[in-house]
Amino acid sequence: MKYTEKLRNSGLRPTKQRLQICEVLFETEKTFHFTINELSLKIKKQIDNKISLATIYNTVHAFEKKGYLKQIPINSNETYFDTNVSDHHHFYDLKKEKLIDLENADVGPIDIKRKIDGKKIKSVEILVKLED
Amino acid sequence: MKYTEKLRNSGLRPTKQRLQICEVLFETEKTFHFTINELSLKIKKQIDNKISLATIYNTVHAFEKKGYLKQIPINSNETYFDTNVSDHHHFYDLKKEKLIDLENADVGPIDIKRKIDGKKIKSVEILVKLED
DNA sequence: ACACTTTTTTAGAATCATTATAAACTACTT
DNA sequence: AAGTAGTTTATAATGATTCTAAAAAAGTGT
Ligand SMILES: [Mn+2]
Ligand SMILES: [Mn+2]
Ligand SMILES: [Zn+2]
Ligand SMILES: [Zn+2]
């Protein structure tokens, strides 16, 4: 299995559940955005055995900590995650409540002129809200 | 009272509670960021009578809808609001869990090149996460 | 294979920010 | 003053997320 090594290298045991979640998350043509609830439904559809919700939460958070997933800063009553972990920005369709990736070429260079003493910039994320 | 008219013009009755919340929110030198919980504590300190938590939630949401407050897109277990309703961006100090305003001069012009058919840009917000 | 340790999974309970309910109260209109 | 529509409030409900602790699985050494 191609994810076994990836998990081992991260200090995560390649369990059946984690490998299955890897398939659902990463064995896709395109990257995608999801909430835990949506991922849970996707898992139910794609695999036979049951994976507990607690394990899905645990795994998503473990993957996020390891950098295999990104949390998207947005106000919703559910937390959004992204399988696209490259630096990129988002449209947020307020009507559909859907995120859309902005490619790097879609956004001009961002110039943050201010500095805060003793602090480093970890990330710079743009959220563009869309209405009709 | 200076807020009575403002409320009336928005179709909101100028109740005692709303006027008091206006004072706590807007009768300040500087704008500020807050969670409902923080606002609730601030209200307790600044006024004598009690305002129920439900009213604080109702009022904050009413004011947001009217454009007197802005919700800041950030992932926290509590929702952040901003009394600064001008277009501006934020630093987020991950350690302190505090927001810092970026003035417009602090950020170069932002160029969103991509368009989505039938959708208009409602807002463009940058969140710069800071680590040590 | 076996014994032993550590990590992981799991069902269910707990947490807690937020929203809903519905009765009492207040502001506004006539 | 009476009527009504809007507001406040205590309290309950909701629901995403986290916690718990016991069972299962994975890794390690022999
Ligand atoms: Mn959802
Ligand atoms: Mn808060
Ligand atoms: Zn994305
Ligand atoms: Zn601000």
CATH number for B61: 1.10.10.10
Residue with minimal CA–C1' distance to D24 is A15
**C-alpha dihedral (B50, B56, B57, B62), degrees to nearest 10:** 140
Domain boundary among A39, A58, A80: A80
Clarify whether residues A45 and A66 are in a common domain.
yes
A106 CA, D19 C1': Å apart: 43
Q: Does B41 touch chain A (CB under 8 A)?
A: no
> What pLDDT is attached to residue B1?
67
The whole-number pLDDT of residue B48 equals 93
Domain co-membership, B37 together with B53: yes
Given this model, what pLDDT does residue A95 score? 85
- pLDDT of res. A96: 86
- Same domain for A71 and A94, yes or no, is no
| Cα B88 to ligand 1 centre (Å) | 29
* Partner residues linked to B35 by β-bridges: B80
What is the average pLDDT score of chain B?
A: 95
Q: Do B116 and A91 touch (CB under 8 A)?
A: yes
The residue of chain B nearest to residue A128, with distances taken between CA atoms, is: B124
Determine whether the interchain pair B132/A120 forms a contact, defined as Cβ–Cβ distance below 8 Å.
Answer: yes
Which pLDDT belongs to residue B91?
96
Query: In this complex, which residue's CA is closest to the C1' atom of nucleotide D16?
Result: A78
Annotate A54-111 with DSSP letters as a single string. Answer: HHHHHHHHHHHHHTSSEEE---SSS-EEES--SS-EEEEETTTTEEEEEPGGGB----
**Average pLDDT for B60-70:** 97
- The answer to whether the C-beta of B15 is closer than 7 A to strand D is yes
- Gap from A123 CA to C28 C1', in Å? 51
Chain B (66-125) residues lying within 8 Å, Cβ to Cβ, of chain A: 71-75, 79, 91, 93-94, 100, 102-103, 105-114, 116, 118-125
Question: Last residue of a domain, which of B80, B104, B121?
Answer: B80
Q: Quote the domain boundaries for residue B38.
A: 2-80
The kind and range of the H/E element at A13 are none
Q: Please judge whether B124 and A123 are an interchain contact, meaning their C-beta atoms are less than 8 angstroms apart.
A: no
8 Å CB contact of A130 and B121:
yes
- Ranges of residues in chain A whose predicted pLDDT is under 70: 1
* B59-B64-B67 Cα angle (round to 5): 125
Beta bridge partners of B107: A112
pLDDT of the residue at A2: 86
Query: What is the model's pLDDT at position B2?
Result: 86
Question: Is 70 exceeded by the pLDDT of residue B28?
Answer: yes
Q: Which residues, at least 6 apart from A8, have a Cβ–Cβ distance to it below 8 Å?
A: A14
Residues from chain A that touch B116, judged by Cβ atoms under 8 A, are 91, 93, 100, 130
Same domain, A71 and A89: no
Residues B116 and B74 in one domain: no
Number of domains in chain A: 2
Same domain, A99 and A43: no
Give the residue-averaged pLDDT of B18-41. 97
Three-state DSSP class for residue B129: strand
Statement to judge: residues B27 and B72 lie in one domain:
yes
pLDDT digits (tens, 9 = 90+) for B78-107: 999 999 999 999 999 988 889 999 998 899
Looking at the structure, tell me whether residues A18 and A60 fall in a common domain. yes
Summary mean pLDDT of chain A: 95
